[in-house]
Chains A and B, each alone.
Chain A
């Protein structure tokens, strides 16, 4: 016997939301192998101010979604916003992904959950209730892929003073895993050899974070630079971290800059841009 059908759970969720309007009209959809929720960090919108919203994907075990550079297969989630006049939404803030392996194929993505934050700017003249609508498309994969989409909407009242909504902890937890801009003292550079890029990060006065249990990784923002499935050889000596990255077989032109995220462990991811020089 099934204690609850997904429909009855949805009905209960709807009743809860309807009876507690301060939660905001966060719409939730259940689809193939995931549940998707659109939530706001603030329960009200303040005219002229910026606030964050999140698309929260909760995935069934074994299924994954993709980073902005999906790696060897798949595609990243994307959104089209329909917003009230004068509202503007920024781009997704992508959390640090992980490597997901299949046969000689490596994807960059997320298992269990993915929270995509977006900053929304409210116009100075905002009033009444703002309806934020998101048309979301994604590919969710395990051994097979499903291309899917959903329409979500979030209605928020306009008020003069900001008010944090209960899901604030979700936003804080997500921000802790966003890549940060690399410290100023760091110097990232890369040398192009016949088959590899040797990416070197010198920590300067700030230092390089110690390894935190997991093997450090470099996630390229551009496709077609490195061979995703090749093992990344990491080494650290004193204040210098080094990755040996196999060049992509699809790479035909010299690369001027390696741009991506280096991850030394949870909460220790940094955006870097490394100018590439040819080995002399």
Chain B
């Protein structure tokens, strides 16, 4: 009986980790992470604000597309300027592409002139797996009530070519513009594109 219960527990755990992915319209799963300045950050501490989650890997050509062009920095500047919280999340495991130490990340953020609210270092991939983050970039938006209102790609041009940015439709800006003006988000879920998130085992 005890064994059966143990098995059941394991099964429940497996099921809950498999059906993880954050669903649009539902409460965004809460998490606590450590940022690149050693500070603890909890999603629910931002209740009352819009929060953007950006999965990141500085070596990935699709991430580079948006940073080398300045596109991501501009989004960060524009939206944090309007009171939106921007959390960049790095779920690369040690030894994998995109893994950085806190000081390496701080140097990088300075060098490329990025302005996220914070960069969460998630080398165990806990936050990534909790959200089902598949690619870099993979973008999520959480509303002031803590509900997920967007899950997907940064824009509608799934390439690594920066020349595709000017003609693209940015899903993150569109969703934030709509939500902040009281409208429903017209495109709340898209297929993210980019490199796979470099999770560990």
Residues of A in contact with B (beta carbons under 8 Å apart): 70, 72-75, 78, 102-105, 107, 137, 139, 141, 143-147, 223-224, 248-252
Contacts and interface: CB of A to CB of B under 8 A. Distances in A.
Contacts of A74: 195
Given A73-B194, A252-B24, A137 B161 contact: yes
Contact of A75 (B24, B159, B190, B198): B159
B61 A250 contact: no
B147 to A, nearest CB: 15
B170 interface: no
A250 B161 contact: no
A31 to B, nearest CB: 14
B56 interface: no
B60 interface: yes
Contacts of A224: 189-191
B188 interface: yes
Given A73-B194, A249-B189, 20 more contacts: A70-B193, A72-B134, A73-B196, A75-B158, A75-B159, A78-B159, A103-B199, A104-B132, A104-B134, A105-B197, A107-B196, A139-B160, A145-B61, A145-B195, A146-B61, A223-B191, A248-B191, A250-B189, A250-B191, A252-B24
B96 interface: yes
B21 interface: yes
Interface residues of B, number: 30
Contacts of B151: 249-250
Contacts of A248: 191
A104 B17 CA distance: 11
A147 B135 contact: no
A249 to B, nearest CB: 5
B9 interface: no
B152 interface: yes
Nearest to A141: B195
B124 interface: no
B196 A72 contact: yes
Nearest to B136: A73
B144 interface: no
B77 interface: no
